[in-house]
Every structure is written in C-alpha cells, then in structure tokens.
Structure 1
Amino acid sequence: MPQSVPSDHLLLEFSLLKFDGMTRIVAALGDELATRAPALPGANTPYGILNHCLGMMRRWSSTVNRGIEIHRDRDAEFTQVGPVAELLARAAGVREEFMTDVLSVDPAAAPVFVPEGREAFWAATTNGVLLHVFEELCQHLGQLEITRDILIANAENHQP
C-alpha cells in the first residue's frame, strides 16, 4: 500500500501529482504507442520520458540529498524500451522510494552530495533539491502530454 504524504509536505504532494499524471498517460498509451516516438528530430518515446524521470527522481532524492548512490545511465534512460507493465511496476517502486527519501531528510538541511555546476540557490537545501525535481517533473509531464497528443493524432490518421 502506498505511503500517504504528511500534510506539511506540500511540495512532495505536488511532485507526486505530476509523477502520477505521467504514469497514467503511459499506462493509457499501452505498449505500442508508449514505445513509439513522434516523427520529429530528437523526439523521445513516452516510455523513455517516464523512464528518465525514474532515474532523475532517485538521483536527486537519494544520491544528492541522502548520499546513497543510485547508479544510472542518463542517456540510456531515453532509449530503453520494454513492456509498459514492467515500467509501471518500477515506477510504483520508485514512487515509494522517492517518498521515503524525501520524508527521511530535514527540508532545511544541506544535501549530502551536490554535483558541481549547480545553482546555489536551490542546491543549498534538500527542499531546494525537491523543488528542482518538481520543476523537472512539470517539464517532462508537459513534454509527455504533447508527445501523447502527437502519437494519438498520428495513429488516428494512420501515420507512423
């Protein structure tokens, strides 16, 4: 059973709302459309977008905020494919791990490991890092919504 979000963690709740919206889109698209990219230069598949967010969330919540290394291959996140059911099962696990990470740190504390070249204003606290994750989830949800719309329109018009 999923953890509930404490009422004083509004940013976590907003982040999970965006994340849950992404998982619903990928689930609704199914294996065929979720693993297809629009015929646009550099376009990503819905599967790849969600898969990337799984790695991004864990990197920032665990490696950066807690110092627990999460290995990832960022470039491969966008190109990996497989059954949507498996991706959604991993997403459910990442959602729980993300919540555990966020709820186990003091929001005002400094992150344990901040990658070089990051803006000090948001990387100074674990809550700032969570704000960055929220920003990324919003951006990728929008990307996923546009990608979905293109794929559905093309499928309805029988285009690749």
Structure 2
Amino acid sequence: MRTDDFLLVADRALDGMARIVADLGDDLANRPPDLPGANSPYQLLTHCLGMLEYWAGELVAGRRIERDRDAEFTASGPAAPLAERTASAKAQLRKDVAALRPGARLNPSHRSWIPPEHQMTQETALLHAIEELCQHHGHMEITRDLLLAAAQ
C-alpha cells in the first residue's frame, strides 16, 4: 500500500467533514437530523478522529490509546476547535502511517467485521480506517443536506 495514496484519500474525507462542520456553524453542526438514532455532524467527525487514533495510532503506530467510543456519539461543542483538532489529527496520522510495517500481523480486540480465518495486518487496519472515513464523509453530506432542508 502506498501511504501517500492513503493520506490523499484520508485528507479528502477529513477536510470535507471539517468543512461541513465549519459551514454549518455551532448550532447546526451539533444538531442531529430528525431521524431515529441519528448523529450530529459534530459527533460523526469526533467519532472519525477517535477511530483514527485507534486504527492508525494504536494498531499501526503502536501508541497506547485511551478511547471512549461511546462518548464520541454524545460529543458536542463549538465548530472551530473541532476543525483545529482535525488539523492536528491529520498531522498525527502522517506520523502514524509512517510507522507502517507492511505485512505486520495484528490481533486487535475489535475485529467483529473481519472473518476469523482472515489474518489481519497493519494494512487491514488502514483500509478499515479509509472505509470508515469515506463512509462517514458521505453520511455527513447527507446529514448536512437534511439539516439545511429542515432549517429552511
């Protein structure tokens, strides 16, 4: 896996999500759409930053991460500091990805989506991180559209 390709796609998703939160502003960025169990854009971006810490920071770079995944989905706050956290997360992601050891095997505690017979590697962790970033970027675009339509 070319890490510069990974970072190009990750940056695109992170920049898009940060832009949505900034464009919506403090009020709408913290409001979930009127759907059962929906999350706000702020929560989705907070979750993606936590996800990167675990999948790239802990599993690839070997940093010990203390993550409260449940709290990511109740998070709220002003948009500007979250954009700053996103910029810092992008810088950290570059350091974490630089630690990639191709083929290095992993056995994380969270692997429910990976068949037990599949040998997970650090590349698997990064592919999952990209999957999550792209999925939630699209999710956030739809959420933004619903919030803006409801605000009219």
Return the offset for 1:32. Answer: 1.1
Equivalent in 77, 82, 85 of residue 82 of structure 1: 77
Equivalent in 53, 57, 60 of residue 52 of structure 2: 57
* Residues 62 and 70, structure 1, Cα contact 8 Å, conserved in 2: yes
Give the TM-score normalised by the residue count of structure 2: 0.89
Q: Paired residue for 1:20?
A: 15
> Aligned equivalents of 1:56 and 1:122: distance in 2?
21
Q: Paired residue for 1:133?
A: 129
Note closer, same or farther for the CA distance 1:128–1:83 as it changes in structure 2 (3 Å cut): same
Q: Paired residue for 1:124?
A: 120
**Structure 1 residues 102-157: Cα deviation after superposition (integer angstroms, max 9, x where no partner):** 1122233224x52254426876221221110000011111110110000000111x
> Aligned equivalents of 2:79 and 2:21: distance in 1?
7
AA in 2 matched with 1:115: S
> Aligned equivalents of 1:75 and 1:132: distance in 2?
19
State the SS of the aligned residue for 1:70: coil
> Aligned equivalents of 1:65 and 1:137: distance in 2?
17
Residue identity over aligned pairs, in percent, reads 46
Q: Paired residue for 2:109?
A: 115
Give the TM-score normalised by the residue count of structure 1: 0.85
> Aligned equivalents of 1:51 and 1:77: distance in 2?
6
* Residues 18 and 82, structure 2, Cα contact 8 Å, conserved in 1: no
Note closer, same or farther for the CA distance 1:10–1:39 as it changes in structure 2 (3 Å cut): same
Equivalent in 145, 149, 154 of residue 145 of structure 2: 149
Note closer, same or farther for the CA distance 1:100–1:149 as it changes in structure 2 (3 Å cut): same
**Structure 1 residues 50-91: Cα deviation after superposition (integer angstroms, max 9, x where no partner):** 000000011111111232111111111011111111111111
Q: Paired residue for 1:98?
A: 93
Return the offset for 1:47. Answer: 0.3
Greater than 6 Å deviation, 4+ residue runs:
none
